[in-house]
Structure 1
Amino acid sequence: MGDGRAMARAGSLVSKLESKICYHRDATLEYMETKAVVNEVIEEKEKLQHDYYALKDKLEEANKMIVEVNKELAAGNEETSANKKELELLKKKLQDWEAKKNQPELCASELVQVSQVQTRPVRQLEVPSEGPPGNDADMVEGSHARMLVNNLIVGQASVVPPSRDDVMVALREHLIKKFLEIDKYGGRMIGIKEMGKLNVKAFEIACAEKIRTTKVADASSKLYSLWQKRITDVSWNPFNTITVEGNHQEVLNVNDDKLQELKKEWGEGPHKAVVDALMEMKEYNCLGDRSIVYELWNYNEGRKATLMECTEYMGDRVQELTVVKRRKTRR
Structure 2
Amino acid sequence: MNGKLKKVMKEKDEKLKKVMKEKNEELKKVMKEMNEKLEEERCELEELEDMNSVLLIKERQSNDEIQEARKESIRGLRDLSGDRSPTIGVKRMGEIDEKPFLKVCRQRFSGENVELEQAMLCSKWQKTLKDPSWYPFKRVGTGEKMKEVVDEEDEKLKNLRKEWGEEVKNAVKTALVELNEFNPSGRYTVPVLWNFEQERKATLKEGIAHMIKEIKTRKRKLT
Q: If the TM-score is normalised by the length of the shorter chain, which range does it land in?
A: 0.5 to 0.7
Compared CA separation, residues 267 and 187, structure 1 to 2 (3 A): farther
Task: Indicate the residue corresponding to 1:266 in structure 2.
Answer: 164
Distance in 2 between the 1:265 and 1:229 partners? 18
Alignment partner of 2:186 out of 264, 268, 289: 289
How many residue pairs were aligned?
169
Alignment partner of 2:206 out of 297, 309, 326: 309
**1:223 to 2:121 alignment:** yes
Task: Indicate the residue corresponding to 1:208 in structure 2.
Answer: 106
**1:321 to 2:218 alignment:** yes
Distance in 2 between the 1:159 and 1:281 partners? 30
| Paired residues of 1:175 and 1:310 also in contact (CA < 8 A) | yes
Q: Which amino acid aligns with 2:77?
A: F
1:215-250 Cα offsets, whole Å, 9 max, x none, are: 222211111111111111112111124562177643
Distance in 2 between the 1:216 and 1:312 partners? 39
Worse overlay, 171-180 or 311-320: 171-180
Distance in 2 between the 1:275 and 1:191 partners? 22
Deviation at 1:276, TM superposition (A): 0.2
Measured on the aligned residues, the alpha-carbon RMSD in Å equals: 2.6
Deviation at 1:203, TM superposition (A): 0.4
Counting only pairs closer than 5 Å after superposition, residues 1-331 of structure 1 correspond to structure 2 as 160-162=57-59, 166=63, 167-212=65-110, 214-241=112-139, 244-245=142-143, 249-284=147-182, 286-326=183-223
Compared CA separation, residues 168 and 264, structure 1 to 2 (3 A): same
Compared CA separation, residues 245 and 220, structure 1 to 2 (3 A): same
Distance in 2 between the 1:170 and 1:245 partners? 34
- Counterpart of 1:162 in 2: which secondary structure? helix
Q: Which has the higher contact order (CA 8 A, sep 6+)?
A: 2
- Counterpart of 1:160 in 2: which secondary structure? helix
| Paired residues of 1:183 and 1:192 also in contact (CA < 8 A) | no
Deviation at 1:322, TM superposition (A): 1.9
| Paired residues of 1:234 and 1:287 also in contact (CA < 8 A) | no
For structure 2, the 5+ residue unaligned runs are: 1-53
| Paired residues of 1:242 and 1:248 also in contact (CA < 8 A) | yes
Q: How high is the TM-score relative to the length of structure 2?
A: 0.66
Distance in 1 between the 2:56 and 2:110 partners? 66
1:11-32 Cα offsets, whole Å, 9 max, x none, are: xxxxxxxxxxxxxxxxxxxxxx
Deviation at 1:311, TM superposition (A): 1.8
Q: Which amino acid aligns with 2:158?
A: Q
For structure 1, the 5+ residue unaligned runs are: 1-156, 327-331
| Paired residues of 2:93 and 2:189 also in contact (CA < 8 A) | yes
Q: Which amino acid aligns with 1:216?
A: V
Deviation at 1:182, TM superposition (A): 2.9
Compared CA separation, residues 277 and 158, structure 1 to 2 (3 A): closer
